[in-house]
Structure 1
């Protein structure tokens, strides 16, 4: 029997490794050729029978999409002039304290179904591609147009029955005894709130042109007259973890700048605003400050962006007075109705 030389052994081993590698590639190709058509070619869901409820509620168009303003995505704008808000902005559904908290409350079965759903993978892939293609300095470049102002505040508040909702955010406050993050929904319910949203010192300075005592003394006079029903809430959006850590590090300095009775109304939100929320509430530039007038039912009744104009400051105070008067009127009518109902009940008991 002929002996196997070292060169022959090397050649045999290389041949075996090539065959093993080719078999592995073939098996992967067979797997992809059978699984991908199966996932991509899933039969469509059957149409509901006549008169039956649809399988999924149709999503309405985003109200904020009617705002024609420069964005961080899409085509580059060469010229822009802000226009008044064309219609109410906000979310279509009332907020919930657990919304936008980052906690995944899906069951194991729902997670498994979503993991193997090819259509959802395609949607997620599209979202990631759009984020990767988004110019990093687009928001800063858009600041050249009227200091980043996206729209002009309306002269009057939106009607209550036509207004949409302010979304929920979760973050830490300046209160020392607060052990866990708080949600904004519980803080806004039952109060007429002026909400300032910003994510940088530049945006904070823009928001202060609306809400600071020096820039808008009439607003603070109105707040002093109705302390139990009105408030100012500030949301510092820090989607960058390092910047959020820096802000937490200097919480002590913030407490010195803000009065103690306002500590529970200053939120540091570590989660960024999604594109859906941004389009809905008109938060179109993360480097710009935005101010919202939110009523006791978390509905956006008025909104502004960028630095304040004199007429916008006046419209904020005027809108706050109108919404407050409307709220007092509703409370008075409800109290009178309760008295009538109580009197009718007493009369029925006597008879």
Structure 2
């Protein structure tokens, strides 16, 4: 968990961020693990605790707001944004009219300097915001930021390489039912969309 940049970079040169292939089928509910709680900030400074679940998470969301399927895309470096886009764009295109899905792109910021209150506030003001086109959809691409030391969060999810992107599909109870890494292949996108459709059919 305490690997350095050069170890991550060397790994990236070998596989381009594809540390593993995505799930081909949905993970059964009984075998699924919970996604660890993560506090995030929107660019306006407001905060939210992810994932939003029917079990309650301390957020202001009521049970009507709980999505049946949530796609959480995690990046630790700006260089992985293209990887995240390869998953989030097809998901948004497919479920743009669904009010039972949610999409979060989470940038995790661990630098002690950038976590300082004043700098954090300044950063949030200039951070990337959803494009105007996103607002036309029922499904909104929500861009959020998490500041802090994420060592134990990463440990729970077995995240080692900070240069690649990580994608998790969660059910309404916050359980991980599917996951992907790096850049999406066409087959992996099909798997993500099919597994999401299955979650939307679950009671």
Contact 2:178/2:195 (8 A) holds in 1: yes
Partner in structure 2 of residue 237 of structure 1: 108
Q: Check conservation: 2:43, 2:127, Cα contact below 8 A.
A: no
Task: Indicate yes or no: 2:171 matched with 1:299.
Answer: no
Residue in 2 that maps onto 1:182 = 48
What is the CA-CA distance between 1:171 and the residue it aligns to?
A: 2.5
Counterpart of 2:95 in structure 1 is: 223
Q: Which has the higher helix share?
A: 1
Kept in 2: contact 1:223–1:231 (CA 8 A): no
Closer/same/farther in 2, CA of residues 262 and 183 from structure 1, 3 Å limit? same
For 1:268, the equivalent position in structure 2 comes to 145
- The aligned residue for residue 158 of structure 2 is 282
TM-score w.r.t. the length of structure 1 is 0.47
Alpha-carbon distance in 2 for matches of 1:138, 1:247: 32
Aligned residues: 184
| 1:321–1:311 distance in 2 versus 1, CA, 3 Å | same
For each residue in 1:237-294, what CA deviation from the matched residue of structure 2 results, as whole angstroms up to 9, or x when unmatched? 000133454794363452364746848x3221111322x4324323221111111101
Q: Are 1:323 and 2:199 counterparts?
A: yes
TM-score by length of 2: 0.79
Residue 200 of structure 1 pairs with residue 77 of structure 2: yes
Q: Check whether the contact 1:237–1:272 (CA below 8 A) recurs between aligned residues.
A: no
- In angstroms, what is the RMSD of aligned CA positions? 2.5
Match of 1:343 in 2: none
SS of the residue corresponding to residue 145 of structure 1 reads: helix
Distance verdict in 2 for CA 1:222–1:139, change over 3 Å: same
1:209 aligns with 2:86: yes
Q: Which has the higher contact order (CA 8 A, sep 6+)?
A: 2
In the alignment, which residue of structure 2 is the partner of 1:313?
189
1:151 is aligned to 20
The verdict on how the C-alpha distance between 1:253 and 1:238 changes in structure 2, with shifts beyond 3 A counting, is: closer
- Runs of 4 or more, structure 1, over 3 Å off, are 241-248, 250-253, 256-263
Give the Cα–Cα distance (whole angstroms) in 2 for the partners of residues 248 and 163 of structure 1: 38
Q: 5+ residue gaps in structure 2?
A: 55-65
Uncovered stretches (5+) of structure 1, i.e. residues with no partner: 1-72, 74-130, 331-351
